[in-house]
Structure formats: structure tokens, C-alpha cells
Amino acid sequence: MSNATDQDHDFLTRVLALAQRSRDEGHHPFAAMVVAADGTVIAEAMNASSSDRTAHAEMNALRLASQRHGPEQLATATLYANAEPCAMCAGGTYWSGVGRVVYAMSEASLLALTGSDPENPTLSLPCREVFARGQRPTEVIGPLREDEARLAHAGFWKK
């Protein structure tokens, strides 16, 4: 597995702050960014599942990115997320053509925080298992900085 670069850590810092902002604005504490290989931000988004249960932060960012660029251009882009993409968002990553994912908190750690909270009945399927079924590789780096990633979730979920 490749290691996270300094640029990866810079964008993780930004996405962790954005997840806190999502919570502060009354949404679930999730955020995502799609960033080109040269560091250009293509899209960033927070969670919006209070109005659309499929509006996970990653899906929102991937939709914006896909409206702006085709899969060939997104192949070298990276999706940053404060939590591991769920099965839906891993599927969205695959279909958008984004070729690389860097996340902070694992789905297993998120599940430990959310428990059976009906607001987020965590779909516990590692994103690597979804990507492994695809017809082209998706590089995945994570979990990273999980203690830091938990902060935005502290006291949020009713287990």
C-alpha cells in the first residue's frame, strides 16, 4: 500500500474541518473533496442527508466533479473523506472514474460510534471490497488520523 503524501495530509486536514462545519450547520458530520493530482480542488461538499438520504458528502462531491470532468480526467484525482466511503459512495467513486481514495476514519470505527442510530445505520462493508469487484483498480489509503476524525462525531450519535 502506498503512503499518504504531505498533500494528502493537507487535504485531510481540510476535510476534517469541513466535517465539523457540516455538524455545526446542522447536518451529519461528514465531508468530502475531489482534488486533481496537481492539488487543484475540483469539488468539495458536506453531508445533506437531512433532505435526501442518498446525499452523502462523497456522493455530493462526486456528482459535482462528474459534472465538471469526465472519467479520463478524474482517473488521476483523489477523493478525500473524513470517513471511509460506504458501499454506495465507493460505487459512486467507481462510476465517476476517480482513481484514488484517502480517508480518515474506517467504516468499522464509524460503526462503533453510530451503533444502531437510525440516523446512520452504518453499512459496514469496507470500500476496498467494493473496489476489488471493479474492472479497473482504485487506490485506497486509510484509515489515517482516526482519533482526530472522531472529534467531529463526539456525542453526536445516539447509540
List interacting residues with Zn ion (CB under 5 A).
56, 86, 88-89
Q: CB burial class (10 A; 0-12, 13-18, 19+) of residue 6?
A: exposed
Cβ proximity to Zn ion, 8 vs 84, nearer residue: 84
Question: Max CA-CA distance within the chain?
Answer: 42
Count the neighbouring beta carbons within 10 Å of the beta carbon of residue 39.
10
Please say if 72 is a catalytic residue: no
Q: Amino acid letter at 138?
A: T
The CB-of-85 to Zn ion minimum distance in angstroms stands at 6
Q: How far is the CB of 123 from Zn ion (least distance, A)?
A: 8
Is residue 29 within 8 Å of 152, Cβ to Cβ? yes
Q: Please say which residue, 62 or 77, places its beta carbon nearer to Zn ion.
A: 62
Q: Measured from the CB atom, is 41 or 88 closer to Zn ion?
A: 88
> Shortest gap between Cβ of 42 and Zn ion (angstroms)?
18
CB 82 within 8 A of CB 15: yes
Residue of 58, 84, 107, 146 marked catalytic: 58
Q: List, by residue number, the catalytic residues.
A: 58
